[in-house]
Structure 1
């Protein structure tokens, strides 16, 4: 049995979110939450919120034991990209891509 949570269109690049997800993959939920809480970057805060939601889904919807949960899998896919332009010299413009992520965290009980 597993429970999942997904946050869509978060304003963080998938590449930066994956750095945090690689740190918590396979860890206990308590340890993963502690890692997310004390990371200095924005990704830690966002991934921590999705992890908290996945744990809540497991406890409330699937009646799992919170102490036996671990992060089974977690990944960040690319969401919609907001395209903007910045003025440059001689009347030209250069593109700016503001990328978004879909972050998914799956938790399961230890056997």
Structure 2
């Protein structure tokens, strides 16, 4: 059975999150959490929190065995961008886009 957790409108660029996803995709949940815990990136902490939420959903809502879960899929989609303005020379302005992400973690049991 598959269980998912979604973190929406996270204030980090999707490109930065995608860099760390390959390290945990397809691993058992415990190994994935351990590897994310020791990564120095900000995105690792966010993905770890979402992964723990998916495990809690599996345990509480579907009463699955937590030790038998593995990370089936992790995807990152781009959310809406916050549009900001920065003053430039000669009275001009330039646009700053502060990107957001939607992170989806899917865990499944071995069966």
Normalised to the residue count of structure 2, the TM-score between the two structures is: 0.97
Q: How many residues align?
A: 111
The runs of at least 4 consecutive aligned structure 1 residues that moved more than 4 Å come to none
Query: Are residues 1:50 and 2:50 paired?
Result: yes
Superposition pairs of residues 1-111 of structure 1, within 5 angstroms: 1-111=1-111
Rounded Cα–Cα distance in structure 2 between residues aligned with 1:19 and 1:28:
19
User: Any stretches of 5+ residues in structure 2 without a counterpart?
Assistant: none
Rounded Cα–Cα distance in structure 2 between residues aligned with 1:102 and 1:46:
11
3-state SS of paired residue (1:48): helix
User: Any stretches of 5+ residues in structure 1 without a counterpart?
Assistant: none
1:85: how far off? Answer: 1.0
3-state SS of paired residue (1:23): coil
3-state SS of paired residue (2:72): strand
Report the more deviating stretch, 64-73 or 15-24: 15-24
1:35: how far off? Answer: 1.4
3-state SS of paired residue (1:59): helix
